[in-house]
Amino acid sequence: MSRNPRYDILFEPVTIGPVTAPNRFYQTPHAIGTGHQMPHTRAAMREVRAEGGWGVVNTGYCSIHPSSDDAPLPYSRLWDDEDIKVHALMVDAVHRHGALAGVELWHGGGGSANRLTRVTPMSASGISSNSTYPGWISLTSSRPMSRQDIREFRGWYVDAAKRARSAGFDVVYIYAGMGYGPYQFLLPWMNKRTDEYGGCLDNRVRLMREILEDVKEAVGQSCAIAVRFSTNELLDVPGETLESEAHEIVSMLADLPDLWDVKSADWSVETASARFSEEGAQEPWNSFVKPLTSKPVVGVGRFTSPDYMVSQIKRGILDLIGAARPSIADPFLPKKIDEGREDEIRECIGCNICVSSYHDGVPLRCTQNPTMGEEWRRNWHPERIPPGDPEQSILIVGAGPAGLECARALGQRGFTVTLAEAGRELGGRVTIESKLPGLATWARVRDYRTNLIQTMANVDVYRGSELSAQDVLDSGCNHAVIATGAKWSAEILGTNGYPMGGFEGGGVFTPDEILAGAEPEGPVVIYDFDHYYMGSCLAELLCKRGLAVTIVTPANAVSAWTFMSNELVRIRERMLDLDIATVFEQYATGFSKGSLTLASIFRSHDVGSIDCGSLVVVGIKTANDRLFRELNSNPDRIANAGISTVRSIGDCRAPGTIAHAVYAGHECARTIDTGDSLGRFALERPLISFKS
């Protein structure tokens, strides 16, 4: 297939200072959870984007000096010449595919706790941004920077830029956003200086201008100089001559950098999940920049639609289509558009599992793309997979996210595949949960896979086919894969924090029952110790049905785990907007229609109660593994039926997130004929040298 002409504009080259991007697809700087400790993993994760057609591929944030340390979060660094080698590995990998490689030079200033290096943080005026979240709280204040500190600060950027040039980078960033480094000097509430670097806007911009000029003089003949600038906070500060200080800063520095990368100052806003933002939601913060500069502008917006990308360019919003999450979900998104295969794009669902991986300090994971993070370690490619034996037949029971991914990947490998689904609809939990408020994009997990499966002549799909163990034995398959999912339990937590039996009598519901259409009597209490999205989504759903809802949880926040996915604050705001009551740090200990008894998680003898017509328990899932257990209860029967292996995958094996299920399905498809469910794992190993 050939490219649709209406997308030609996306493949035009763009000049960025002394270099030229081959197209408008731009993988913006974003962390990938490898830091500098996993150079091969990092290089492979970036290389696959370049291979997939992204014209520019950037690193994540890269520290320029030991006074900017973000441990235990994984960051990269350019502190000395030894660090050049780590970056050169990635640069060479990106260049192999004709893309430009960029590096985001970062100094955290007062936003770095420096837990590893123990260097006292420094900032414009000794004012550090505060946080209410334990992992981000620094117990050390920053110190004000002296003029000598500022001179050294400028020198660190120059030194790091020269090392970046030695590594082969084409684009060198100055990061002036999200409360870091030079950005702190721009903010009047963080810059209280009375010297030439404080006070009026000209003075507050001085350091950013000097750094840009210094770096441009040092490496600007061969490298493009980009500035990454957060605008939303400064858009609220009235300007003297223009609408806001954000407008004035861009106007003052308009053509000094070779590229403007414009973003939000709040990472939870920039990476807002699909539950709380639409495609292109960053436009209010970046649309004002292009009229103020002749240089190209890039921004993000969780862009997955090529038509929306074209709109951004034709309306004069952006010159380059920036992406982090869409490039994770489908590294080959540009190539698929170029080849007229846009219907095969593995669209980002905006669930932010990738964000949670970074918070976990591990390589990125993705619900849509199970190969993310496994490119080097397991030699998994997002588009290529080793061929299998077409004479081998595989029966998959269950067409939820695990079963669908297993069938898709096995079909791609060339096996003869039969997919049996008990219900009339495919997708399992994805189909059900995508009907919850804000989760419509999650249906893409189903749709991407079913669209490809229906093009595969070697994959047969049977709906309304609930199979027994004997049906599986009689199927004639060589391998059986059981992907029958899980169900929510009404079990609760005892006051020791461990699961125990649920409450007797009517009025108690599980999420499955609510999602199947059950009508609870109000007022409704949702007892949530799952701590992810289900409790708050159900609260919103029932509230919109006109019921009074209270969430009770043993945690100290609604959907507490969603701090990891940058959704916690948005969920709390949504609950407040909907007048959904919340009770924290309480166990449910007794229920009768009319009242739910509670006990403090700290002192179980502190007992209270809450009005409750119905109780929805959101906490524990149990695997629907009856078929798997029955099949494996008699290994001789399996052998006599000619079945080599019987595997369980996804929630049937161990209930978890949709990302876990998709990964399990893919892993099974990759390893079903190897006899090793884990397959090959390569390990990054430190090089240890000994002094004589």
Q: How far apart are CA 369 and CA 367, in angstroms?
A: 6
Band (pLDDT 50/70/90 cuts) for residue 84 is very high
Report the phi/psi class of residue 228: left, alpha or beta, with left for phi > 0 and alpha for psi in -120 to 50. Answer: beta
Q: Helical H runs in 414-468?
A: 429-433, 443-453
Statement: residue 358 has pLDDT above 60: yes
The reply to whether CATH 3.40.630.40 applies to domain 489-621 is no
Q: How far apart are CA 17 and CA 115, in angstroms?
A: 37
> Has 180 been annotated as catalytic?
yes
Q: How far apart are CA 64 and CA 14, in angstroms?
A: 28
pLDDT of residue 690: 66
Please say whether the beta carbons of 596 and 585 come within 8 A.
Answer: no
Residue 499's alpha-carbon distances to 337, 492, 494, 616, in angstroms, are 49, 6, 6, 16
Q: Mean pLDDT throughout 358-381?
A: 95
Per the prediction, the chain carries an average pLDDT of: 95
Statement: residue 133 has pLDDT above 90: no
pLDDT of residue 266: 86
Q: What pTM was computed for the model?
A: 0.96
Which residues contact residue 2 at a Cβ distance below 8 angstroms, ignoring those fewer than 6 apart?
Answer: 339, 340
Statement: residue 369 has pLDDT above 60: yes
Which residue, among 610, 618, 617, has the nearest Cα to 593 in the 3D structure? 610
Residue 461's alpha-carbon distances to 258, 358, 416, 419, 430, in angstroms, are 53, 37, 11, 5, 18
For 616, the token pair is: 């929805």
The CATH number for 393-485+624-671, chosen from 1.10.540.10, 3.40.50.720, 3.40.50.1100, 3.40.50.1820, is: 3.40.50.720
Please say whether the beta carbons of 218 and 160 come within 8 A.
Answer: no
Band (pLDDT 50/70/90 cuts) for residue 605 is confident
Band (pLDDT 50/70/90 cuts) for residue 140 is confident
Please say whether the beta carbons of 622 and 485 come within 8 A.
Answer: no
Catalytic residue, from 26, 61, 75, 180: name it: 180
Write down the residue that tokens 């929306």 correspond to: 308
Domain boundaries, the chain: 5-350, 393-485+624-671, 489-621
Statement: residue 373 has pLDDT above 80: yes
pLDDT of residue 691: 63
> Which residues are registered as beta bridge partners of 63?
77, 106
Q: What percent of the chain has pLDDT over 90?
A: 89
Which residues contact residue 591 at a Cβ distance below 8 angstroms, ignoring those fewer than 6 apart?
Answer: 503, 505, 507, 508, 597, 612, 615
* Residue that wins the pLDDT comparison between 256 and 594: 256
pLDDT of residue 604: 79
For 519-534, what is each residue's pLDDT tens digit? 999 999 999 999 999 9
Band (pLDDT 50/70/90 cuts) for residue 689 is low
CATH superfamily of 5-350: Aldolase class I (3.20.20.70)
Which residues contact residue 525 at a Cβ distance below 8 angstroms, ignoring those fewer than 6 apart?
Answer: 549, 550, 551, 552, 588, 596, 610, 612, 614, 615, 616
Q: Mean pLDDT throughout 132-149?
A: 82
Please say whether the beta carbons of 122 and 66 come within 8 A.
Answer: no
pLDDT of residue 431: 98
* Residue that wins the pLDDT comparison between 500 and 438: 438
Statement: residue 675 has pLDDT above 80: no
For 312-332, what is each residue's pLDDT tens digit? 999 999 999 999 999 999 999
Q: Mean pLDDT throughout 145-153?
A: 97
pLDDT of residue 680: 73
Q: Name the strand (E) or helix (H) holding 475.
A: none
